[in-house]
Amino acid sequence: MTKTERAAFIEQRLAELYPDTPIPLDHRDPYTLLVAVLLSAQCTDARVNLVTPSLWTLASNPRDMARRSVEEIDAIVRPCGLAPRKARNIRDLSAILVEQHGGRVPADFEALEALPGVGHKTASVVMAQAFGVPAFPVDTHIHRLAQRWKLTPGKNVQRTEADLKRLFPKESWNQLHLRIIFYGREYCTARGCDGTVCDICRTCVPERKKPVATKK
């Protein structure tokens, strides 16, 4: 298979497996999605979804959250790790949203990435899932799978994102990145597949006999 053929097969197979692409993080609006994505760094979506109901009870909008102390926020989000940095970022970005954006999450990459704790991947998730802007958020798992499927040499996540955007139609990006996440969690896990086990790995690279060592 050529790289283009692999991409076409992957897109078709994932669409068959996951015709629906629900957003894994529970949220109410762009603001609660932004906070949930920030909390998901080095934490599972399942754990974030357990924590956020209590956080929304404390404050569910930028104005209310900006009035809360870091200690109050941290007491709730600490199970998500990286405490109290995440709590401080949530409080600080909320204040910035109030002061600079009228209390609304901006639908703009540059403005989002200027917020505390919000990098390109987080901004991409918010732009794709809250505002429907084509984006291809690449986390560690997508980065690893793209290497296993020989869609990218995997030098870094920036290169992987650029390679995936070139390979797949722009209108498919928002659904496709979720489908890759779903497939990775179910079939091509870090422990369950080493590049030689799951259906997509075996189909895309049938000649592979040894485990593939992916780059981070």
Q: Which residues are catalytic?
A: 121, 139
Task: Please list, residue by residue across 90-105, b when 16 or more beta carbons sit within 10 angstroms of its beta carbon and e when fewer do.
Answer: bbbbbbebbeeeeeeb
Say how far apart CA 99 and CA 94 lie, in whole Å.
Answer: 9
Q: Smallest Cα–Cα separation from 62: which of 38, 25, 88, 98?
A: 98
For the record, the structure tokens of 142 come out as 């997508």
Compute the half-sphere exposure of residue 17: CA atoms within 13 Å on the CB side of its CA: 20
Neighbours of 33 (CB within 10 A): 21
Q: Smallest Cα–Cα separation from 96: which of 74, 115, 123, 109?
A: 115
For the record, the structure tokens of 87 come out as 């709590």
